[in-house]
Amino acid sequence: MADITMTDGVQIDLVSRERMQSLRSMEKIRLIIDGVRDGNIVILEEGLSPDEESKLIEVTMNEISPDEFTGIEIESYPQQESQPGLFSRLFGRNPPNKLTVIGPANRIETLHKDENLIRALVTQ
């Protein structure tokens, strides 16, 4: 993982596919939430599974607190349209998501999104 920090700036955590694959689901979610709560923008080379996304929303909701943390903004490219195969249907696994950007809800705003481009505004 590479950290880019600037004085009085915005820290961006670029998390590699390999780093994420070495973590369990809740470890991934903690990595994201802790980074975002510190005010960082977290960019995942490969996003979360649907089940992990569901847990991320649930944990985010549980951690929201007045005047401290208002939640997350998350954007990823749309999943490729494909019917899940028998294995996926049985085991609840879908193909991995594409690149995902997550940040503090009060500091990141999505300006534009389509299947090829995510444009976001980050404020300090």
Partner 1 sequence: MGLIASIKDSISRLFSGGEPRRIGIYGPPNAGKCLRATEEVLLADGTRMPIESVFSTAERRCPDATDVSSASNETWLSCADAGIRVPALTESEQIVPATVSHVFRQSYDGQLFRVETQTGRDVVVSPAHPFIVAGSEGPTQIPARELSVGATVASVSTQPSRLFTDDTRLSTDGGAVAHASRAAPVADYSLTWDTVRAIEPTSYTGYIYDLTVPEHHTFTTGSGLVVHNTTLANRIARDWTGDAVGPESHVPHETRRARRKENVEIKRNGSTVTIDIVDTPGVTTKVDYNEFLEHDMNKEDAVRRSREATEGVAEAMHWLREDVDGVVYVLDSTSDPFTQVNTMLVGIIESRDLPVLIFANKIDLDDASIQRIVNAFPQHEVIPLSALEGENMEEVYDKIAEYFG
Interface residues with partner 1 (CB under 8 A)?
49-51, 53-55, 57-58, 60-62, 64, 66, 70-76, 78-79, 81, 83-84, 88-94, 97, 105-106, 110, 113
Q: How many whole angstroms separate alpha carbon 89 and alpha carbon 35?
A: 33
> Closer to partner 1 at the Cβ: 2 or 90?
90
| Rounded least distance, CB 65 to partner 1, Å | 9
Burial of 10 (0-12, 13-18, 19+ CB in 10 A): middle
| Rounded least distance, CB 57 to partner 1, Å | 5
> Closer to partner 1 at the Cβ: 45 or 75?
75
Q: For residue 40, give Cα distances in angstroms to 4, 5, 6, 18, 102.
A: 10, 10, 12, 20, 9
DSSP class of residue 122 equals E
| Rounded least distance, CB 63 to partner 1, Å | 9
At position 57, the amino acid (one-letter code) is I
> Closer to partner 1 at the Cβ: 5 or 79?
79
